[in-house]
Amino acid sequence: MTERREFILNSIKTAGLVSLAGLTWSAYVDEVTAKTLILRPPGALSEPDFLSTCIKCGMCVEACANRDTKPKNAEPTLLLAKTGSNRPIGTPYFMPRDEPCYMCPEIPCVPVCPTGALDENIVSTKNKLDINKAKMGLAIVDKQNCIAYWGIQCDACYRACPLLDKAITIEYSQNKRTGKHSYLKPIVHANHCTGCGLCELACVTEKPAIFVLPLAIALGKVGDHYIKGWDKEDEKRVKNAKARLNKTDINKKSAIDNLNDAGDLY
Amino acid sequence: MNNFIKQTKYLILRRITQFAVIFLYFAGNIWGWQILTGNLSSSQLLTIVPLSDPFAVMQMFFAGAAISIDVIIGALIVTSVYAIIGGRVFCSWVCPINPITDLANYLRRKFEFNKITKRQPSTRNIRFWVLGLSFVLSFFLLVPAFEFISPISMVHRGIIFGLGFTWAVVLVIFFFDMFVLKNGWCGHICPLGAFYGIVGKFSLIRVFHDVEKCTECMKCKEVCPEVQVLPMIAKNTGQVSDSACTNCGRCLDVCEEEGALSFSILGKNS
């Protein structure tokens, strides 16, 4: 009898300890994986898939640090999130203002990934690695603090962009304030921008007025309600449209009866 | 001097393998050496042989990740090696936490804490609960849950890629083992140790005890980090059957009588 009671009590005690541990443990993991403002190496899966697949071995970071094409004196681009860095610990990321991705054509960081969290297929065209297909993020211009939008001549980001005149173009417009100058405004094109962050590094303002955000944060989503009818590619989306249909029962009474019988408004 | 080497032979060998492993990974990152690249979670030996932490891969599986052939092969290689030489050989010969908890243990003995608190308040089976919890949390949180808190990979990764706040984790484990619970982390909580214990259930290398040569000094029981694996000391001849044994060889080091304790192959009876 006492033996059985002891066993049951001990089991419940252990279960209590384990649930206490589970609570703190899951709270920490939940908190740290909720951090989506983090730039991943090229070829990374979507953030939730990346977090479940990355084994935190750091081989991408090593490949980045020891690459042949590294500019002299450059620090390694990729970092491995340290303990207490408030990022998903042990996962690779980079901070363009410190060290951007130099878009090595051979992409040393991707093929070394043992788990496929960095997927070669994402950065390949016709089975050949193609860094221009990388989508690490998207550069966003803060028009309020970009001095080119003030009318001061600056094309630092435009010149720094490895996809010159594709990912960033310059739009000219008249500067009505002076009446005789032009604005040379940088415009980022999401379909070409790889999110390498060379523009963020080059930006001359104290805190960069052009900066890279993860795609999931930088981009909106149109949904199925709007289709570019003039674009054959985009029109294909109609076929898979899953728009919600809201059905409201139509009142069977005549319109006048309906209004008269509605009762008092207040 | 000869005596010193005899009494610390396995300890020194273990420290050499532990630091050699860390150094080779470290050199892989800093100088681009190709002997071992990556870290204990997943790595490549001589750029060809994949090695992966089977426990991490299992968590990935529970988290619903698509698992690549590379890591499956790597995990199988690691699992088979430890299944043969002894699962928890990882714990005492490779794991970077081991020197830390060993130091805590040493100081416990030095300051005779073990004589003040003789009763251990907790069961060593907690680690199997933590092991199960790792899988349950991985399943519900959709990430390899233990990999987010594992002090083993934190320390190991920290040494290779930058320490961050890992020193705090190291201190916590050290103080926990020294003041709160004897063999607290490695012997009670660590799910990786529990996992490798299961892997090494039928491993070949076992500590063998010859009762006829035993002087009953009980030094082996004093130093053993998993003392429940040595029930036969001074009682009967036989092998360690409990796979919680890490094959650390400390008992062989401290043993007074040549041959009373030795490494043997599974199945040796006399």
Q: Which of B52, B130, B162 sits opposite A82 (nearest CB)?
A: B162
- Read off the pLDDT band of A141 (50, 70, 90): very high
Give the range among A55-64, A165-174, A208-217 with minimum mean pLDDT. Answer: A55-64
Of A48, A83, A114, the CB nearest to B142: A48
Per-residue pLDDT of chain B (270 residues; tens, 9 = 90+): 567 777 778 888 888 988 898 888 888 777 778 787 777 777 777 877 888 888 989 998 998 888 888 888 888 998 999 888 887 888 989 888 999 898 988 888 888 777 776 666 677 888 888 899 899 989 988 888 898 888 888 888 888 777 778 888 889 989 888 888 888 888 888 999 999 989 888 888 888 888 888 888 888 888 888 888 888 887 888 888 888 888 888 888 888 777 788 888 877 776
* Chain A positions in Cβ-Cβ contact with residue B173 (cut-off 8 Å): none
| Residue ranges in chain A assigned as alpha helix (H) | 2-33, 47-53, 59-65, 147-150, 156-160, 198-202, 215-218, 232-235, 255-260
Q: B154 CA to chain A: closest CA distance, Å?
A: 7
Nearest to A83 among B71, B123, B165 (CB): B165
pLDDT of A69 reads: 66
Q: Is the dihedral of CA A164, A168, A173, A176 positive or negative?
A: negative
Q: Among A48-62, A69-83, A139-153, whose mean pLDDT is lowest?
A: A69-83
Quickly count: other Cβ atoms within 10 Å of residue B174's Cβ: 18
Q: Which residue among B126, B137, B142 places its CB closest to the CB of A22?
A: B137
| B140 to chain A: closest CA residue | A26
**Got the DSSP string for B135-160?**
HHHHHHHSS-TGGGT-HHHHHHHHHH
State whether B70 and A85 contact (CB < 8 Å): no
> Per residue in A16-44, pLDDT tens?
888 898 899 888 888 888 877 899 999 89
Stretch A99-128: mean pLDDT: 87
Distance of alpha carbon B133 from alpha carbon A85, whole angstroms = 25
Residue A209 has pLDDT above 90, yes or no: yes
Identity of residue A112: V
CATH of domain B205-265: 3.30.70.20
CB contact under 8 A, A82 and B71: no
CATH topology of domain A137-217: Alpha-Beta Plaits (3.30.70)
* pLDDT band per the 50, 70, 90 thresholds, residue A256: confident
Token digits of residue B102: 């060993």
**Closest-approach residue (CA) in chain B for A84:** B165
DSSP class of residue A133 equals: G
**Which secondary structure element, helix H or strand E, spans residue A124, and what is its range?**
strand A124-125
Q: In this structure, are strands B42-45 and B36-39 parallel, antiparallel, or unpaired?
A: antiparallel
Q: Which residue has the higher pLDDT, A206 or B11?
A: A206
* Closest Cα in chain A, distance from residue B27 (Å): 10
Q: What is the pLDDT, as a whole number, of residue A58?
A: 85
Which residue ranges does chain A devote to CATH 3.30.70.3270? 137-217
Distance from CA of A145 to the nearest CA of B (A): 34
Q: Pick from B29, B154, B168: which is nearest to A62 by CB?
A: B29
A90/B41 touch (CB, cutoff 8 Å), yes or no: yes
* Model confidence, pTM: 0.80
How high is the pLDDT of residue B41? 78
pLDDT band at residue A184 under the 50/70/90 scheme: very high
CA atoms within 13 A on the CB side of B94: 20
Q: Where are the domains of chain B?
A: 2-199, 205-265
Q: Give the pLDDT mean for A139-160.
A: 92
Q: A243 near A224, Cβ under 8 Å?
A: yes
Q: Distance, in angstroms, between A101 CA and closest chain B CA?
A: 18
Residues in chain A within 8 Å Cβ distance of B144: 52, 55
The pLDDT of residue A265 is 63
